[in-house]
Structures are given as structure tokens and as C-alpha cells.
Amino acid sequence: GRVQNERNDLGGESRRARTAMSSLPANIDESMFKDIIADASRYVKYASAAYGVSMIDSADLLQVYGKKVVVIPIIPAASEKARKKKVARYVNVQPDDIVSSSKPGGSMDILGHFVTVDKKKNRVGGGDNGAVVLAIRGTYTLSGLKVDASAYSQEFCEGYAHTGIALRTEALWNHVKDIIVTKLLENPGFDLVITGHSLGAGASALLALKLKYEDALMKENELLKDVKVRSFAFAPPPVYFQTHPNEKLTAAMKDTYPFIHEEDCVPFCSADAIRKMADTMSIVDKMPKGFGLFSPLMASGLRPVSDEIKEAIYDDRELPPAPGTHKLAIPAPFVMWMRHASDDRVGRPMYNTMFCRTKAKGNAVGTNDLNIQMSSDMISDHMNPMYERAIMSVREQMLKKQDGFVFPPHPEEEFN
């Protein structure tokens, strides 16, 4: 981790800068980005609420909105009505607008979730109507860990997807399909927004891809053929590998908006990346490191790490193919990677965003080319309340007529 951090301190060698685009993504202008962030600040709260009232309390305690809050926790035995009321207040809907939800404990087969009819207008797309929202919970139970661990890939939408998440995505859609179709028919013109964090973000991105690529809503009812399907994915793992150019697949990924916060490790955790990390550890372990206490002194920072070891850690090597270890990526045209850039006058962290490639383009690397960053913050940076804080920071800056996004300082270095 220390050697990886040294590399990231070398300006253009920053992980974010190495994958960053040097201009706005195709079909995205400053106004569109402002709309994406406005909607993301709304749906990131859904992603937190999908975990239940304890995550809502955590987000409140972070003072996400820069104001002092008083948290009144709900005791574990609280009624379903009380929990529903707190979730509704947090996502700014009426309790009756939450039309379906999984039980707090969840199940081994169906990802935790809730479905809401949100009548507030979406900014993206400039529509006049609201959305039926499916919020999917991330890893929270042993069953969620089991899904995460099933990281090998299987066929999905003429490509390959993370097996555990793909299977749970299919099961979830079969479980919620009827209520979602019913609510979309009852609310003509509404979008379908799918959102989630971590495991829930991966499922959100895969489900949006599936529904659009397979024309699933139209097949359920011809009246739903024009429903806009969007995904807001916070901390998504790499879940999809596209085997060949396909215009319909590319179009199906268009309205998925993924976010990465700081050194969160999950957006880089694929079976391919884990194999690379294990290979690097094996190579380094076989290298000469001196005698006696030299190796532990090097590990503790009391001795310099040799250039040979640094080069082995820096090397973004490709490994020979292995069954089920496709080089999965986040299924979206770009990902918005947020970093703490400064503090405001009252000490709140201010973040900016870079638009980054999710996979390589020519000689330019994508986020799925990066190794897993070993960092003391790799887990804390993954927590959804941290995503809330970062997105709200970007939005606040944009409301003050600031850009909220930056480009790499040396664009030519994006090809390193």
C-alpha cells in the first residue's frame, strides 16, 4: 500500500488522473452534469435508506448537509410503520409512496430493496414527471457476502457478468417486476430509476442494462415501451464484460451514472484484479530483500523499498486468461470519481469530480485496468454516507456557479 501511495503522489501517475478523460464525455455538457448531480444527490439518499434506519442515522451524524442534526434512533423492535415513516422522511416522500419493501432481515435469495413512487420531477432528461424508484441494498448480511464472493463470470446480455450479482439481479427482477409494471402503468410518463450502493450498485447497473437491452418493460406491456430507465450507482463493483462492439449494448449503458469516492476499493474488485494482486504478492515475496531484519524494516518504512520491488508493484501486468475471470468493468460510458480537494471556511471537505473511463480506449487505461489500491481508507471511503457527503459538496459548489469537475492537469499523461 505504501509503494502504491508513492506512485499516486507522482502527479500524472494518480490513479484518477491516469483514467481521466481530458474533456467532457460525449453527450454531456455542463448543464447536463449539473442535472446528473442534482438527481444523484436525491438518489444517493435512497441508496442509504435501502440499508435501513441505522444507515440513515449514520448519514445524519456525518452532517451531510452541513447542518447540525439531532438523531433519534429507532430501537430494534420498532414497528414496520415507524421504520417506513423514517425512510420516507429521509428520501422526502410520503410513507404511502413506499409501495413495497423487503423485510429488515432480508433473505438468502432476494436482495434487500424497497420500491417507491416519487412524484418529484427528475432533472436528467428534462421531464415533467417523477419516477418509480427501486433502491437496492448493498452488502449487509452473510447472504450479501456470499453474493460478493461469487466473483467469477457467467453469460449475461451477450457478454459476461459477475455470477453472484447477475443471479441475484435476475431473481430480484422476477420478484419486483409486477409491482414496478403496475406502478408505471398507474403513473404514465414516469421514469424507472434503479439505485443502490456497493453490491446494490452492481445489481442496479446490471438490471438497467438488462431491461434496456432486452426491451423487458415493453415485453411486459406495450404501453411501457417509452419508459426511460436510469441507474444511479454508488461504489459499484466491476460487473460486466462486453465481448464485442454492439450499438444496442452501448446505448443500454448510456443512462447509467456511477460514482467512486476517494480510495474506495470495491469499484476495482473483480476476479481479474484479485488474481493480479495475488500475482504481485507472489512476485514480491520471491524477490531478495536482504538479510535478517531487513525485510520487516522495509515493510515498516524504516528502510527504503528497492526499485525492483517498486517496479513489480507499479506494473499493470495482464495475466493469462483463466476460466470465469473476464476483465469486468462498470457497465457505463464513464464514471464520476470524486476526491477531497479543499475545505470550506467552516472546515467542511469540498470535493471535485473527474470523468474517468470505465475501460481502456486505445492506449488510454480505464478503471478496470487499475489494481486494487491497498489503503488505510479503502473501507471507510466505501461507506455510502461518505458518498452522500461528497455528492452534496459537488452540488453545493455548482449551485454557487462553480464547475464541480476538473480535468487532469497534464492530459497527455492519461496515456501512460
- pLDDT on residue 143: 45
Residue 167: closest CA among 88, 252, 91, 110: 110
- pLDDT on residue 62: 54
- pLDDT on residue 189: 94
Give tens-digit pLDDT for 262-284.
Answer: 999 999 988 777 766 665 556 65
Q: Is the pLDDT of residue 242 over 70?
A: yes
| Reported pTM | 0.84
Pairing of strands 191-197, 131-136: parallel
- pLDDT on residue 70: 47
- pLDDT on residue 184: 98
- pLDDT on residue 116: 98
Q: Is the pLDDT of residue 146 over 50?
A: no
Mean pLDDT, residues 95-121 taken together: 89
Give tens-digit pLDDT for 67-105.
Answer: 444 445 555 445 778 889 999 999 999 999 999 998 766
Give tens-digit pLDDT for 381-397.
Answer: 999 999 999 999 999 99
Strand order in the sheet with 335-343: 98-101, 113-118, 131-136, 191-197, 229-234, 256-261, 335-343, 349-356
Mean pLDDT, residues 200-220 taken together: 97
Q: Is the pLDDT of residue 414 over 60?
A: no
User: Which secondary-structure segment (H or E) carries 249?
Assistant: helix 247-252
Q: Is the pLDDT of residue 196 over 80?
A: yes
Whether 50 and 111 have beta carbons less than 8 Å apart is answered as no
Give tens-digit pLDDT for 286-301.
Answer: 666 554 444 554 444 5
Q: Is the pLDDT of residue 23 over 80?
A: yes
> What is the distance between the alpha carbons of residues 36 and 17, in angstroms, rounded to a whole number?
21
- pLDDT on residue 71: 45
Instruction: Please report, rounded to a whole number, the percentage of residues in the chain having pLDDT higher than 90.
Output: 56
The per-residue DSSP string of 8-64 comes to: HTSGGG-HHHHHB-SSPPTT--HHHHHHHHHHHHHHHHHHHHTT-HHHHHHHHHTTT
> What is the distance between the alpha carbons of residues 108 and 143, in angstroms, rounded to a whole number?
5
Mean pLDDT, residues 232-240 taken together: 97
Whether 179 and 100 have beta carbons less than 8 Å apart is answered as yes
The amino acid sitting at 40 is: A
Rg of the chain on CA atoms, in Å: 22
CA separation, residue 49 to residues 53, 89, 391 (Å): 7, 10, 16
CA 408 to chain CA centroid, nearest Å: 21
Q: In residues, how long is the chain?
A: 416
> Phi first, then psi: what are they for 56, rounded to 5°?
-60, -45
Instruction: Please report, rounded to a whole number, the percentage of residues in the chain having pLDDT higher than 70.
Output: 75
Mean pLDDT, residues 42-67 taken together: 75
**Residue where the block lists cell 414497528:** 79
Whether 172 and 207 have beta carbons less than 8 Å apart is answered as yes
Provide long-range contacts, Cβ within 8 A and 24+ apart, for 7-14. Answer: 7/313, 7/314, 8/373, 11/409, 11/410, 11/413, 12/408, 12/409, 12/410, 12/413, 12/416, 13/413, 13/416
- pLDDT on residue 59: 64
Mean pLDDT, residues 11-31 taken together: 85
Give tens-digit pLDDT for 153-183.
Answer: 899 999 999 999 999 999 999 999 999 999 9
Task: Check the CA dihedral 138-142-148-154 and report its sign.
Answer: negative
- pLDDT on residue 335: 98
Which residues are paired to 305 by β-bridges? none
* Choice between 81 and 228, residue whose per-residue pLDDT is larger: 228
Give tens-digit pLDDT for 339-359.
Answer: 999 998 888 899 999 999 999
Q: Is the pLDDT of residue 15 over 60?
A: yes
Q: Is the pLDDT of residue 317 over 70?
A: no
